[in-house]
Amino acid sequence: AEGDADEPKKGHGGCGHIQPAIRKEGLKLFVQYKRPKDENEDVKSMQPDKWLITPSGVYMMFKKMSDSDLHLIGLLDEYACPEWMIRT
């Protein structure tokens, strides 16, 4: 048991980027990020607490995804681009 305490704690994987919290209010979806504790107070007042996720914004994000990003999430650009999955 003593040897296990000296080992570094293993993470769950991933890139380490801060993940947003998605909140639903009625039929609208909002994105909210947790702020780091060491963040400056002046910067906090300039940034909104939450952002509305719009269908057109999601479509544009999907459309801008590179071929290497598609490969990372397990899609082939020839057969299944994410923007094709949204009806316009």
Render each residue's pLDDT in the chain as its tens digit; 88 residues: 555 556 666 666 677 777 888 999 999 999 988 776 665 655 555 566 788 999 899 899 999 999 898 898 888 888 888 888 888 7
CA distance 16 to 21: 15
Under a CB-based contact definition with an 8 Å cutoff, are residues 58 and 47 in contact?
Answer: no
> Cβ contacts of residue 44 below 8 Å, gap of 6+?
35
Long-range CB pairs of 57-66 (<8 Å, 24+ gap) are 58/86, 59/83, 59/86, 59/88, 62/86
- Res 43: pLDDT: 53
Cα distances (angstroms) measured from residue 10 to each of 7, 16, 17: 9, 13, 16
